[in-house]
């Protein structure tokens, strides 16, 4: 059951999943969450106040060389630093309380999170994630959503960090939303 949403802080969540060069999972595997990045923004000051990055051990998939080249995430890092998805979601919930804050991602990370939670046996994911790219697309009157890097450039910002690193993507999604909110507050 979702709690009452508070508009004091918002969360920006990004997921990285196992992936393969041809886009198809090998027999018996499926895309699985291997990293979650979270950035929290204080809505009164529009500043990032906290961040975290979690590694997740995939249950049935291997991390391909293509995936490591794209994300920088290795099987060794997930094995050494990672925990099962259910534990990571509990930790994220305890630290950030996403069930009572607006949560955003760039793209459909909610679909991947719901699928991952279902596969992990989590029957009630206590929070929802809104795709910020849809709001950006509407706000700027675009026919399709741009990449996060393109959206940042449209608000005179540049991507900071490494694309396809969960924390960097979450932080940049937060920075983009901050720029959008400032733009609207100045109108």
Return d(Cα 98, Cα 139) in angstroms, integer.
25
Tell me the whole-structure pTM to 2 decimals. Answer: 0.93
**pLDDT at residue 3 greater than cutoff 60:** no
The stretch 154-159 carries a mean pLDDT of 96
How many domains does the chain divide into?
1
**The CATH number of the domain where 62 resides is what?**
3.30.420.10
Q: What is the pLDDT of residue 125?
A: 81
Residue 4 in domain: no
1 in any annotated domain: no
H or E stretch at 15: strand 9-17
**Is residue 1's pLDDT more than 60?**
no
Full domain range(s) for residue 27 = 9-186
- State whether residue 57 is helix, strand or coil: coil
* Per-residue pLDDT reduced to its tens digit, 22-75: 989 999 999 999 999 999 999 999 999 999 999 999 999 999 999 999 999 999
| Residue 2 is assigned to a structural domain of this protein | no
Tell whether 73 is covered by a domain.
yes
pLDDT given for residue 109 in this prediction = 95
Q: Does position 2 have pLDDT exceeding 90, yes or no?
A: no
Q: What angle do CA 43, 145, 140 make, to 5 degrees?
A: 65
pLDDT in tens, 67-119: 999 999 999 999 999 999 999 999 999 999 898 899 999 999 999 999 999 98
109-145 pLDDT, tens digit per residue, is 999 999 999 988 887 787 899 999 999 999 999 999 9
Tell me if 47 sits within 8 A of 175, measured CB to CB.
no
């Amino acid at each position: 059951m979702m709690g009452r949403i508070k508009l004091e802080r918002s969360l920006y969540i990004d997921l990285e999943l196992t992936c393969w060069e041809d886009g198809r999972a090998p027999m018996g595997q499926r895309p699985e969450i291997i990293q979650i990045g979270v950035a929290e923004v204080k809505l009164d000051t529009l500043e990032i106040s906290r961040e975290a990055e979690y590694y997740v051990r995939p249950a049935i998939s291997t991390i391909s060389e293509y995936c490591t080249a794209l994300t920088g995430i290795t099987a060794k890092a997930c094995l050494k630093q990672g925990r099962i998805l259910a534990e990571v979601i509990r930790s994220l919930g305890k630290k950030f309380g996403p069930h009572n804050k607006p949560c955003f991602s760039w793209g459909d990370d909610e679909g991947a999170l719901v699928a991952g939670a279902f596969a992990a046996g989590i029957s009630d994911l206590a929070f929802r994630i809104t795709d910020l790219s849809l709001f950006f697309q509407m706000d700027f009157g675009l026919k399709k959503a741009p990449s996060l890097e393109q959206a940042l450039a449209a608000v005179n910002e540049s991507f900071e960090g490494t694309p396809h690193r969960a924390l960097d993507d979450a932080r940049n999604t937060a920075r983009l939303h901050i720029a959008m909110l400032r733009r609207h507050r100045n109108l």
